Amino acid sequence: MTQDELKRLVGQAAADYVLSNVADGAVIGVGTGSTANCFIDALAPHKRRYRGAVSSSVATTARLEQHGIKVFDLNEIESLPVYVDGADEIDPTGAMIKGGGGALTREKIVASVAEIFVCIADASKRVPVLGGFPLPVEVVPMARTAIGRRLTAVGGVPVLRVTNDGAPYITDNGNEILDVKNLRIDDPRAFEVAVNAWPGVVTVGLFASRGADFCLLGTESGVETIDYDTHR
């Protein structure tokens, strides 16, 4: 199967999980990116079963609303039974690199309040150690150079994310992103805590302190379910 076919496969598997395990009338947390879009498309025919969704980005909000799914502000919601999102990399403990689509801060906020975090990904995203995919770090613009020096000091090669016309990429929160290459993240939880503590960092795209509870992984032989509770 192609990568797009694998994404649609796990998007449908995530919709099936929600339909089987999440009570009618609930609000669903939805991530950002092409795999999350496949989940939205698969869930849309059943939208009347649920009150709506909390979105992690402007782009996701637009896709949900195109399907007629009501989007709630997180401040309006008392509980979020599930959050479904993709990953750029995921390791054997359920720690992830996320943020290739630029929505890492809002994704991390929504994930932090969800009871269950379901990662949906194709098999290429499963890695033994995080760091092959450049680590996104969302920064306040005035701190970009200072944070870049600190990332260089720990062995990284930070590159400012830019748009097709060469201008700095601006997140939905009005900040910039440094994509950090040349990292091998052996202890993602410790590295996440350390980088998040640097003044000027909005958030680092490591989802380790709150990693995935399980992953629906698209493989050539079908969807593999990986439960990470036994690895923590």
Is 86 annotated for ligand binding? Answer: yes
Is 99 annotated for ligand binding? Answer: yes
Helix (H) or strand (E) holding 215: strand 214-219
Is 98 annotated for ligand binding? Answer: yes
Is 52 annotated for ligand binding? Answer: no
Is 25 annotated for ligand binding? Answer: no
CA distance 173 to 205: 15
Per annotation, catalytic residue among 107, 138, 176, 192: 107
B/e letters for 203-225, b = 16+ CB within 10 Å, e = fewer, are bbbbbbebbbbbbbbbeeeebee
CA distance 193 to 186: 14
Q: Is 5 an annotated catalytic residue?
A: no
CA distance 102 to 106: 9
Is 218 annotated for ligand binding? Answer: no
Is 163 annotated for ligand binding? Answer: no
Is 55 annotated for ligand binding? Answer: no
Is 87 annotated for ligand binding? Answer: yes
Under a CB-based contact definition with an 8 Å cutoff, are residues 225 and 214 in contact? yes
CB atoms under 10 Å from CB of 158, counted, come to 23
Going by the annotation, the residues of the binding site are 32-35, 85-88, 98-101, 125
User: What are the residue numbers of the active site?
Assistant: 107
Annotation: binding site for substrate: 32-35, 85-88, 98-101, 125
